[in-house]
Amino acid sequence: MNRFAFALCLFFVAALSGSAAENILTDSSFEGSSESGFSTSYIAFGNAFREGNTPHTGEFAAKLFGNFSGAMNWSGVSQDVPADPGAIYAVQVMARHNSNDALQGETCAFIKIEFYNDAGEQLATAESKSRLTSDSKADMYQPLKIAGIRAPEGAAKLRVVLLLEQHEDNGSGAAYMDDVELIKAAR
């Protein structure tokens, strides 16, 4: 190894050790509660509930299922945090479905990140490539993640959304999600 390569290695070791980023989200394991179910850190919509059934850690997880309207619909739970324009963010959540209420048909679950400006206009979004589907192995958690998205110029707010998407086929089944993480990976 020449001197330059060695210096390069030292640089990457330093970069990696300096990136032990902490989770920006509050109540990431859904252990907190309020009158509406979830802690006040979250906003839930559709059929999203905080349940003590097969959590990943702690005693609770988010449970999502469709509304059976015969049209595309979404249930979810989200959390907003201030955005740092130019920073690269990564998100992850642990997700599973259970064999006694497994996802059916086109129903699937994923994680999404959305950026908004001060006026509340959406500037950018990204979804996890990996999704929980009827083909996913039941009764075990798997990570759904977005490896990195840069907060655009003008971004004031970042929203992490855990989503269950039900299609026209009214596919039944529930997704459980727990331990959601948002980290600022780099600039």
Q: Give me the residues that bind Ca ion (CB under 5 A), please.
A: 29-30, 55, 58, 60, 178
CB of 56 to Ca ion, least distance (A): 6
CB of 155 to Ca ion, least distance (A): 29
The residue among 83 and 180 lying less far from Ca ion, judged by its C-beta, is 180
Query: How far, in Å, CA of 65 to CA of 131, rounded?
Result: 14
CB of 80 to Ca ion, least distance (A): 20
Contact yes or no for 10/168 (Cβ under 8 A): no
CB of 145 to Ca ion, least distance (A): 18
SS (H, E, C) the chain: CCHHHHHHHHHHHHHHHCCCCCCCCCCCCCCCEECCEECCCCEEECEEEEECCCCCCCCCEEEEECCCCCCCEEEEEEEEEECCCCCEEEEEEEEECCHHHCCCCCCEEEEEEEEECCCCCEEEEEECCCCECCCCCCCCCEEEEEEEEECCCCCCEEEEEEEEEECCCCCCCEEEEEEEEEEEEEC
The residue among 55 and 66 lying less far from Ca ion, judged by its C-beta, is 55
The residue among 32 and 105 lying less far from Ca ion, judged by its C-beta, is 32
The residue among 58 and 86 lying less far from Ca ion, judged by its C-beta, is 58
The residue among 77 and 151 lying less far from Ca ion, judged by its C-beta, is 77
